[in-house]
Structure 1
């Protein structure tokens, strides 16, 4: 096997002997275990594992490894995925008016802090084209109205599928995606928004937060689902504010938090650190990668 580091994400009903069976399997195949992270949800009786392996020196092929692991997984009712770390994921960023998340993601990608290929930027406005040109990223302006929504989404899907996009990042794309669109990319769309929701919905949330006198503001990054802004949460963060904060300063602080939260969520996804279970995301921390 050419790839040196292989990682498995595993979830299944909790049961005796899981760790021994799984680690023995990889030992018998010649792998060295670099890290093994586990979590047991005793309320739901579910077991989760992220295991990273050094494949250096093994002679087994990817096909043989997966076939053999499936034989172990089936009787244990293991749901699993494997990442060989031998290719960068292709990413599309969707935006509308605001630029802070877009700038941040492109800068991190260019500097190698996000291990991905940003293949395109898609927007329902032409306002941020200049940023795409600065980073030499293809920009697609696809305006949308209530009457043209399905047609525009079909154009977006054609772009994503024809470019083999692995992850879609909604970097403040201010349009509600249809259920058909979201279901076409399950657990492959990450959205970011302020953490007030479900309070202060709609326009000018920071003005509304100021009027309410909030003492905490923050951001939430989650997988998009058909339930608007209620998908599995990947990352969140908050910062205390005071009565002296104005709507302008609240918005600025909120934008800074958004950048960090979205970047962490994207990195967790790209690094194969997340297992979705129902409407919860189990996010394993980096383990020496």
Structure 2
């Protein structure tokens, strides 16, 4: 019996019909919380979750995540956005407003190793990843049948050094205007600025090392040669600097001199899949704000 779900979109939960999230970043100063709270109150909204963080009360940055309910949200959302613009201008806010029932659309890029992809599919199937998996793109055909059993389109685009530019152009054409987030689930290819630019802070990579240690290729071999006692994995947004983008999540596990490179890889796979899944979940739940090359994560 095939138990896979044949729909790549999570159903809208009843409470999500009239719920929205607001993300705000701006220079810190007095009256910010009061202004946002008063605005929502005057518009009849009920705040159900409120997170805030200030980097430095003396001239630093302020970050806020607000989740609220508002009756007839669909009909009133445009007016709420227009009215809030005046407050945003006053406090120099960068802000976004997301209705919860508009699920973020994901494209997962994968190569031959399947553990991170499988974890994302499992969490999505269990209802823990509240998003739409719009497609999987791979430079290998190995997982085509498995992915399509979930009702998810699978695009096989081979990549060689000679065809890399053309392959990436095909990828751009496939994802264009169709996805909100690209997840590099052990894709094992360096993506070019042409792909990064339109998806700034919307491409998440899992690096099989506790960055900034052991950037680039074969980090487990590097770790083994160095004789480390802790290995880890890092989920980060992709920038033009190799493995140098804003870090979202990291985790580690102790190892010993008895663990060879293959053992490090085996241990590392568990860390990788958990760390990547956390980062993707936090992104689709609008829990991450990026400032310069750092992230504020309300989790």
TM over 0.5: yes
Separation in 2, partners of 1:59, 1:177: 37
Corresponding position of 2:50: 36
Structure 1 pair 17/151, CA: closer, same or farther in 2 (3 Å)?
A: same
1:148 aligns with 2:157: no
Q: In 1, are the aligned partners of 2:109 and 2:185 still within 8 Å (CA)? A: yes
Corresponding position of 2:152: 137
Q: Which runs of 5+ in 2 are unaligned?
A: 1-15
1:135 Cα offset (Å): 2.6
SS in 2 for 1:227: coil
SS in 1 for 2:176: helix
- Deviations, residues 40-99 of structure 1 (Å, cap 9, x unaligned): 011761000111112137796111000000011102101100111122221111011111
Corresponding position of 1:97: 112
1:202 Cα offset (Å): 4.9
Separation in 2, partners of 1:58, 1:152: 41
1:179 Cα offset (Å): 0.7
1:199 Cα offset (Å): 4.3
Q: CA RMSD in A?
A: 1.9
Alignment of 1:268-283 (within 5 A): 268-283=282-297
Separation in 1, partners of 2:121, 2:36: 38
Q: In 2, are the aligned partners of 1:29 and 1:58 still within 8 Å (CA)? A: no
1:130 Cα offset (Å): 3.2
Q: Which runs of 5+ in 1 are unaligned?
A: none
TM-score normalised per structure 1: 0.92
Alignment of 1:1-289 (within 5 A): 3-42=17-56, 45-56=60-71, 61-161=76-176, 164-285=178-299
Q: In 2, are the aligned partners of 1:36 and 1:50 still within 8 Å (CA)? A: yes
Structure 1 pair 186/194, CA: closer, same or farther in 2 (3 Å)?
A: same
Q: In 2, are the aligned partners of 1:29 and 1:60 still within 8 Å (CA)? A: no
1:128 Cα offset (Å): 2.4
Structure 1 pair 6/211, CA: closer, same or farther in 2 (3 Å)?
A: same
